[in-house]
Structure 1
Amino acid sequence: MNSVPRRLHICYVEFGYPHPHGSGGAGTYVQLVGRELVRLGHQVSVVAAWCSQCPHRIEDEGVTVYRPRLQGALHWYLSKIPGLRVGALALRYLERGLQLYRFLEDLNRIHPIDVIEFTEGGDFWHAFHSRIPFLTHLHGSRYTVRVQSGRPTNRADWLHRRLELAFIRRAPVILSPSQALLDIVRDEAGGFDSATWAIPLPVDPELLRPRAAENSSQFQSENKIVLFAARNDPVKGVDILLKAIPLVHRRVPEVGFRLFGYQPDPGQHLPEGVTCFPFVPKQELLAQYHHADLVVVPSCWDNSPNTVYEAMAAGKAVVASHVGGIPELVVDGETGLLVPSGDFEALADAIVQLLLAHEVHTRMGRRGRERIVQLADLQRNVDQRLAIYWRLMDTSSRLGTPSPIR
């Protein structure tokens, strides 16, 4: 007689978990996986960032989301002392981590936790003191993103990253949506003995359902549409896109660009044909992919951006920078076009090339959808992660402490 797998309590520590005011790529991943795990009968808790406008605890389709206020004052005082302020960011990480460690220990006493998945730098104290099996899911730290995108870093960034890497090296398992980020972090850490897996993010099944384009005067004004969607961050390359748009308009004057998530500065002059939507609900954004001819991802550097998954799932060709984990998703010449990061002329040429070749970008979109269905199926993704959780728990149980699994 086959035994029924027991119900697990899986806890995710992801400060970017979605809320009514926004979300991030890692947060969206945790939400999708968490809801599916609940559907399969498991218990899922998430520790997310405190938000003054959100309840401290909510149920999100069965996922219990906690938003504790993790704060401390020591790092603020240190930041005011010349010669010592360089350590303020690192001290903030330790202060916040100690409170997180205590919160998780309290939660474990009330609702015993089987495994904790931390995003990236995790909790320094947990790595050295807790007996709960844990792993880390890389997403791209502040330090990593700044270095890879050519932006300046300082001693404070470096000290903070040393502490994060100490946690990562102690993790028995390290997951990443891209092999590119795994390799970068391995180099940052000087190597690690942990088991590693590159598992693409899951895609929202809502995008895979056939749908007819919606009729809306707000979104049906142009003949051709190029969509950009990202948080309001220079690393996402919106400045490069804004330089490319006038070049595109000279050759394809009827095109309109819809920029979701971008907030221009007051008085900033935008190129002709650009419409900005600072924030729209997630489901509305997903619907807008279906109105677009192309999706553009001009990042200075990126790990495995949700926009690429969503665009490919919606059957849209992608024009993107050849950086980070993007080439692991977009096959140049087959599911889209890749261009050098920061080259606005190459970006414009690629956009024009596909806009003027409807059959080509339609075929690329179809191939992209087929590819992402294979790479990012939610059920397959959850099955992979559950298998890793079970192996981690089995190894930790036999050895009596979280240890690398083989």
Structure 2
Amino acid sequence: MKVLHLSTFHQFGGAAIAANRINQALNRAGFSSDMLVAETSVEEPFVTSLAKTAWQKRWNTARFALDRLTFLPFERSRNVRFAFSPGLVGTDISQHPLVQQADILHLHWTTFGFLSTRSLSKLFALPKPVVWTMHDMWAFTGGCHHSGTCEHYQNQCGNCPFLRTSAPDDLSHSGWLRKQRAYQNARLTPVGCSQWLANRAQQSRLFGELAVQSIPNPIDTKVFIPLPKAVARWELKLPETKRFILFAATKVSAVGKGFSYFQKALALLRQQLAKPHDVELLIFGAGDESLLRELPFKYHFLGSLKDSRQIVAAYSAADLFVIPSLEENLPNTIMESMACGTPVVGFEVGGIPEMVQHQQTGYLVSYRSVEDLANGIQWILDQSETAFQQLSANARNHVVTHYDETVVARQYLALYAEIQNKAY
């Protein structure tokens, strides 16, 4: 049996990282698995780029730009520019050799000019079962990646809060109907990375009577391991005696990552701490460092980290990891932090409560509460050495038990076997 994973990106963004980890985990389990992406960032076994020549790479960039331009006249504001994908621009890969050779197609995050709804229709028309691991809500909405409090996706969308002019027959409604037509004859098995997302997907009429599965993203717990804090801090040239609060995101300034809540909570925390000068910040991710200059604690900005050893060192050097995201599915960053034995403080939203057990592996914060976010950070900092070591062990054990790549690979292998044998 051969499986082909389809993803817009190779290693950029949480969805691509998760897809790549699933592909590699299956290969390490001895299974035949490949991944086809719009364009590779680096050479890697079992990963193939659709764009290989200079011309193909330029065309790939043009498709991305055209995809964004199709939404530009409709967007409510610049803040939602990347929060909605009409799915009108993409390429037909149905005749690609890897697609033709595959027994099962495994979709991941495929927007931004890689696959349009029409492209998906052509894949669904092939006599092949399709697994779709959903890393956000796009597969079952009229175009938004996270609907927030809007529930219109459950029944044909329309009146979309992301659009400049919303109406019952707006862009989200037409997008929902295009997906409905594309899904009609598909041998489709939707999979949510979290139970929260699977539950949301099940509420959409787009999936009709389909049984939505829930399988988490994997992590290699032999790579993401706890390092002694002294070693991690030495590697990153950090002072050994400080307490470190970690913040990390693919793009620090992204509105949904909640940096403003982090900043406000730190201001409160500084007032609450008896010795605020003992606490410093550790931050990594892409973005403008000028955003950090108004933070009320000294910070160490590591920029974008690509090397896994550096990432492990960053998590291990920290006393806690703060994730104030306003919208999340099953964040890789939480998984990575906990695998390194670093407890997590985050809002009770999306799939985060499935990962963080309150005051057992971290601290679950009341949604959008700056005060509780500050309290959660302080609660971790106030733990005794013995209590902290127990938090750390609990966090690591939870990841090993639920998210280790061997555990997740077995779940996908069982799903593949089930759907391949299923009569349609």
1:139 pairs with 2:149? no
Distance in 1 of aligned mates of 2:196 and 2:269: 31
1:325 pairs with 2:351? yes
Distance in 1 of aligned mates of 2:72 and 2:338: 48
Instruction: Work out which of the residue numbers 258, 263, 270 in structure 1 matches 2:282.
Output: 258
Alpha-carbon offset, residue 197 of structure 1: 1.6
Instruction: Work out which of the residue numbers 367, 392, 398 in structure 2 matches 1:371.
Output: 398
Distance in 2 of aligned mates of 1:90 and 1:228: 26
Instruction: Work out which of the residue numbers 246, 249, 266 in structure 2 matches 1:245.
Output: 266
What code does the residue aligned with 2:162 have? T
Q: Which SS does the other structure have where 2:213 is aligned?
A: strand
Q: Equivalent residue for 1:65? A: 48
1:107 pairs with 2:128? no
Distance in 1 of aligned mates of 2:418 and 2:402: 22
Alpha-carbon offset, residue 45 of structure 1: 2.2
Instruction: Work out which of the residue numbers 159, 177, 182 in structure 1 matches 2:193.
Output: 177
What code does the residue aligned with 2:345 have? V
Instruction: Work out which of the residue numbers 167, 171, 180 in structure 2 matches 1:156.
Output: 171
1:93 pairs with 2:87? yes
TM-score after normalising by structure 2: 0.77
Q: 2:226, 2:316 within 8 Å by CA — same for their partners in 1?
A: no
Return closer, same or farther for 1:159/1:362 CA change in 2, 3 Å cut-off: farther
What code does the residue aligned with 2:148 have? Q
What code does the residue aligned with 1:339 have? V
Q: Which SS does the other structure have where 1:307 is aligned?
A: helix
Aligned-residue sequence identity (percent) comes to: 21
Q: Equivalent residue for 1:199? A: 215
Q: Which SS does the other structure have where 1:12 is aligned?
A: strand
Distance in 1 of aligned mates of 2:72 and 2:243: 53
Distance in 1 of aligned mates of 2:221 and 2:32: 21
Instruction: Work out which of the residue numbers 252, 272, 275 in structure 1 matches 2:300.
Output: 275
Distance in 1 of aligned mates of 2:180 and 2:13: 22
Return closer, same or farther for 1:293/1:159 CA change in 2, 3 Å cut-off: farther
Q: Which SS does the other structure have where 2:121 is aligned?
A: helix
Q: 2:283, 2:301 within 8 Å by CA — same for their partners in 1?
A: yes
Distance in 1 of aligned mates of 2:4 and 2:291: 45
Q: Which SS does the other structure have where 1:276 is aligned?
A: strand
- List gaps (5 residues or longer) in structure 1: 1-7, 83-88, 400-406
Q: Equivalent residue for 1:4? A: none
- List gaps (5 residues or longer) in structure 2: 52-58, 75-82, 151-159, 164-169
Q: Deviations over 1:151-172 (max 9, x none)?
A: 9412435544554565567453
Distance in 2 of aligned mates of 1:184 and 1:317: 27
Q: 1:172, 1:195 within 8 Å by CA — same for their partners in 2?
A: no
Q: Equivalent residue for 2:157? A: none
Alpha-carbon offset, residue 9 of structure 1: 2.0
Alpha-carbon offset, residue 208 of structure 1: 4.9
Instruction: Work out which of the residue numbers 3, 13, 38 in structure 1 matches 2:6.
Output: 13
Instruction: Work out which of the residue numbers 356, 376, 387 in structure 2 matches 1:350.
Output: 376
Distance in 2 of aligned mates of 1:28 and 1:338: 25
How many residues in Structure 1 have an aligned counterpart in Structure 2? 369
Return closer, same or farther for 1:132/1:217 CA change in 2, 3 Å cut-off: closer
Instruction: Work out which of the residue numbers 387, 392, 400 in structure 2 matches 1:360.
Output: 387
Q: Which SS does the other structure have where 1:366 is aligned?
A: helix
Distance in 1 of aligned mates of 2:282 and 2:270: 14
Distance in 2 of aligned mates of 1:119 and 1:165: 18
Q: Which SS does the other structure have where 1:193 is aligned?
A: coil
1:315 pairs with 2:341? yes
Q: 1:200, 1:376 within 8 Å by CA — same for their partners in 2?
A: yes
For the aligned residue pairs, the C-alpha RMSD in angstroms reads 3.2
